[in-house]
Amino acid sequence: MLERLDTFADTWDEVTEVLAVRSRASLLLARHPLRAADAGQLGAALLVNEQLDGRPLSFMCLDRRLSEAAELEGLRVTDG
């Protein structure tokens, strides 16, 4: 199991700007009916999206509320 995690870890990017994510998550909670963890996930995605210089970020999610909030925030949502 840990070997699979290590394999995936080589391909992902980690968002380490915790204060920036928390700030975005707080704003998202005020605008959308999200759970706190979902707001954190969306806040991190929005932060990454800002750093992509206009290239669209695909946000994959199976949660309806989170998907709707992501679309309203301008992300392209895919259902996997």
Query: Which tens digits make up the pLDDT trace of 12-46?
Result: 778 899 999 999 999 999 999 999 999 999 999 99
**What does the radius of gyration of the chain's CA atoms come to, in whole angstroms?**
13
Residue matched to tokens 């750093």: 51
Q: What is the pTM (predicted TM-score) of this model?
A: 0.82
Of 40, 30, 43, nearest in space to 75 by CA:
43
**And the tokens for 61?**
């999610």
Query: How sure is the predictor about 11, in pLDDT bands with cuts at 50, 70 and 90?
Result: confident
**And the tokens for 23?**
């700030």
pLDDT tens digits along 50-65: 988 777 788 998 999 9
Indicate the angle between helix axes 36-50 and 64-72, nearest 10 degrees. 30
Half-sphere exposure of 61 (CA within 13 A, CB side): 20
